[in-house]
């Protein structure tokens, strides 16, 4: 997905606009120690184009000159990560010194820029925005975040400047595996361990996209691509502080993958950020495997694995379908267990159930526990059919979709999983009216 970043001084209204763009989609907050407070990521869609959004607004630095340094950091980050930058200014404040500084940096970057003039609370009063032509980025767009006005114009302008991203370059029979996880969990070590295995044939020179290193390889007759974001260790001022935490890169790797390996440091356990990123894999319908690395240094007895698995289950309630593999990238102990699991979840992710089998399961489920009545009416399921794979997507035709309750849908999902496992993959159920 292409990326739109929002930059601007504190209090110009960036987060209001960010929230209006993502609507009720999930936002990922990234907490960072030290220099910055947080950065927020989300996804949006406008006129059929999907994109990611970053609100760089959280970046604030303490101390003298902090405002200028903060906006400079934001701008650098946006220039590095974004395809289009929304530069927000405040109609009431006019052009400030900090705005001029950001404008200079953005201008040098040659990235497409849209100037958004916020707080134009009376859109008739366009006089307020003329001065912003002076920033040198063409027509400014007038906004009122408070009234939710002008957002459509802003998105029209931003989306029209997005690059056309080409379709995925890999064949469908290639399993695309992304490794994600915090710095130092051992992603690079795991990549090296995998590619260094005896029966692995690295077929081509690794390809480098803007955000990851792709290594195609073959093992026991199956083709894979490893999408590795950890290998991207660029050097640079801002990179030293921000690159390590590049959630955006992880998000893009997830979007391109079939199977996401959520790498966890067995020595340290689970933190909030692991959840955000795993949640993104779930939302995007990817197969997932938890890989608990550094198992060599964990003190253990015959219960430790089960205990760790329980902890994972408690933290990732929404992903109980994902198997857990314990290994050591360093000693390669238990590494041989990883690929059978990857193959298995990839297969489940692409599994198709014949319609008659699916309907047998659903009628049995309904016979055991009929849908609860709601205001004297009850849900009637006519039939179900699988309409897609990666992830398996099932359409259920009913008399009235409003009568399908979350808990009953969950019950049906569990019944379907009980019959087919679908291990490692999310399932998508949709209801449609048809009597």
- Name the site residues for ligand GDP (rule: CB under 6 A): 181, 183-189, 230, 293-294, 296-297, 328-330
CA atoms within 13 A on the CB side of 157: 20
Residue 141 or 230: which CB sits closer to ligand GDP?
230
The answer to the question of whether 188 is labelled as a binding residue is: yes
Nearest Cα residue to 396 out of 346, 336, 349, 353: 353
The answer to the question of whether 237 is labelled as a binding residue is: no
CB of 297 to ligand GDP, least distance (A): 4
Nearest Cα residue to 339 out of 204, 218, 158, 168: 218
Q: Two tokens at 123?
A: 């859109």
Angstrom CA distances, 233 to 33, 88, 183, 229, 311, stand at 20, 30, 11, 9, 31
CB of 224 to ligand GDP, least distance (A): 19
The answer to the question of whether 59 is labelled as a binding residue is: yes
| Start-end of H helices in 161-265 | 187-195, 237-242, 247-256
Residue 237 or 244: which CB sits closer to ligand GDP?
244
The answer to the question of whether 221 is labelled as a binding residue is: no
- Alpha-carbon distance of 61 to 10, in angstroms, equals 11
Burial classification of residue 332, based on how many CB atoms lie within 10 Å of its CB (0-12 exposed, 13-18 middle, 19 or more buried) = middle
Tokens 């707080």 belong to which residue? 119
DSSP state letter for 421: -
Residue 71 or 250: which CB sits closer to ligand GDP?
250
Residue 190 or 322: which CB sits closer to ligand GDP?
190
The answer to the question of whether 231 is labelled as a binding residue is: yes
Nearest Cα residue to 30 out of 249, 285, 256: 249
Q: Is the peptide bond before 391 cis (omega within 30 degrees of 0)?
A: yes
Nearest Cα residue to 408 out of 375, 379, 367, 376: 379
CB-based contacts of 98, cutoff 8 Å, min separation 6: 9, 67, 68, 71
CB of 296 to ligand GDP, least distance (A): 5
CB-based contacts of 264, cutoff 8 Å, min separation 6: 181, 185, 270, 274, 290, 291, 292, 293, 312
Q: What is the DSSP string of 5-29?
A: EEE--TTSSHHHHHHHHHTTS--EE
Contact between 319 and 284 under an 8 Å Cβ cutoff? The reply is no
The answer to the question of whether 120 is labelled as a binding residue is: yes
Tokens 């100037």 belong to which residue? 115
CB of 267 to ligand GDP, least distance (A): 7
Residue 19 or 304: which CB sits closer to ligand GDP?
304
Neighbours of 251 (CB within 10 A): 24
Residue 242 or 293: which CB sits closer to ligand GDP?
293
Give one word for 191, left, alpha or beta, with left for phi > 0 and alpha for psi -120 to 50. alpha
CB of 120 to ligand GDP, least distance (A): 45
Q: Which residue's Cβ lies closest to ligand GDP?
A: 186
The answer to the question of whether 23 is labelled as a binding residue is: no
The answer to the question of whether 394 is labelled as a binding residue is: no
Residue 119 or 294: which CB sits closer to ligand GDP?
294
CB of 78 to ligand GDP, least distance (A): 24
The answer to the question of whether 295 is labelled as a binding residue is: yes
CB of 329 to ligand GDP, least distance (A): 4
The answer to the question of whether 186 is labelled as a binding residue is: yes
Nearest Cα residue to 335 out of 327, 324, 345: 327
CB of 341 to ligand GDP, least distance (A): 17
CB of 260 to ligand GDP, least distance (A): 15
The answer to the question of whether 360 is labelled as a binding residue is: no
CB of 275 to ligand GDP, least distance (A): 17
The answer to the question of whether 292 is labelled as a binding residue is: no
Residue 230 or 353: which CB sits closer to ligand GDP?
230
Residue 156 or 268: which CB sits closer to ligand GDP?
268
Residue 185 or 358: which CB sits closer to ligand GDP?
185
Q: Please enumerate, by residue number, every residue annotated as part of a binding site for GTP.
A: 8-15, 55-59, 118-121, 181-188, 228-232, 293-296
> Binding-site residues, please?
8-15, 55-59, 118-121, 181-188, 228-232, 293-296
């Amino acid at each position: 997905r292409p990326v739109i970043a929002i930059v601007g001084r504190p209090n110009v209204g960036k987060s209001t606009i960010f929230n209006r763009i993502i609507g009720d989609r999930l936002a990922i907050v990234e907490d960072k120690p030290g220099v910055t407070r947080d950065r927020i990521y989300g996804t949006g869609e406008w006129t059929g184009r999907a994109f990611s959004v970053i609100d760089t607004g959280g970046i604030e630095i303490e101390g003298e000159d902090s405002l200028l340094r903060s906006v400079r950091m934001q701008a650098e980050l946006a220039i590095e990560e974004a395809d289009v930058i929304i530069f927000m200014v405040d109609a009431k404040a006019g052009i400030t010194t900090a705005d001029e500084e950001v404008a200079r940096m953005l201008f040098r970057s040659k990235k497409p820029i849209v100037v958004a003039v916020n707080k134009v609370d009376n859109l008739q009063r366009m006089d307020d925005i003329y001065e912003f032509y002076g920033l040198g980025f063409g027509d400014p767009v007038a906004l009122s975040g408070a009234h939710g006005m002008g957002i459509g114009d802003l998105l029209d302008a931003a989306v029209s400047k997005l690059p056309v991203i080409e379709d995925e370059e890999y064949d469908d029979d290639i399993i695309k595996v992304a490794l994600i996880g915090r710095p130092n969990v051992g992603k690079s070590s795991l990549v090296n361990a995998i590619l260094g295995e005896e029966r692995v044939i690295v077929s081509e020179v690794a390809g480098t996209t803007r955000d990851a290193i792709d290594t195609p390889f073959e093992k026991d007759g199956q083709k894979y691509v490893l999408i590795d974001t950890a290998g991207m260790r660029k050097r640079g001022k801002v990179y030293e502080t921000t690159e390590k935490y590049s959630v955006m890169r992880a998000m893009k790797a997830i979007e391109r993958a079939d199977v996401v390996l959520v790498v966890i440091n067995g020595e340290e356990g689970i933190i909030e950020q692991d959840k955000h990123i795993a949640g993104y894999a779930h939302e995007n319908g990817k197969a997932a495997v938890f890989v608990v690395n550094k198992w060599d240094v964990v003190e253990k007895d015959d219960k430790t694995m089960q205990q760790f698995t329980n902890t994972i289950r408690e933290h990732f309630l929404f992903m109980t379908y994902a198997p857990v593999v314990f290994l050591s990238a360093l000693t390669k102990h238990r590494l041989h267990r990883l690929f059978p699991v990857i193959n298995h979840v990839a297969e489940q992710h692409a599994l198709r159930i014949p319609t008659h089998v699916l309907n047998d399961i659903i009628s049995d489920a309904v016979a055991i526990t009929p849908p609860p009545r709601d205001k004297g009416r009850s849900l009637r399921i006519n039939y179900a059919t699988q309409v897609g794979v990666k992830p398996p997507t099932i359409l259920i035709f009913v008399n009235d979709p409003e009568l399908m309750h979350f808990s009953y849908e969950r019950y049906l999902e569990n019944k379907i999983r009980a019959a087919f496992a679908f291990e490692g993959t999310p399932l998508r159920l949709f209801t449609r009216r048809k009597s």
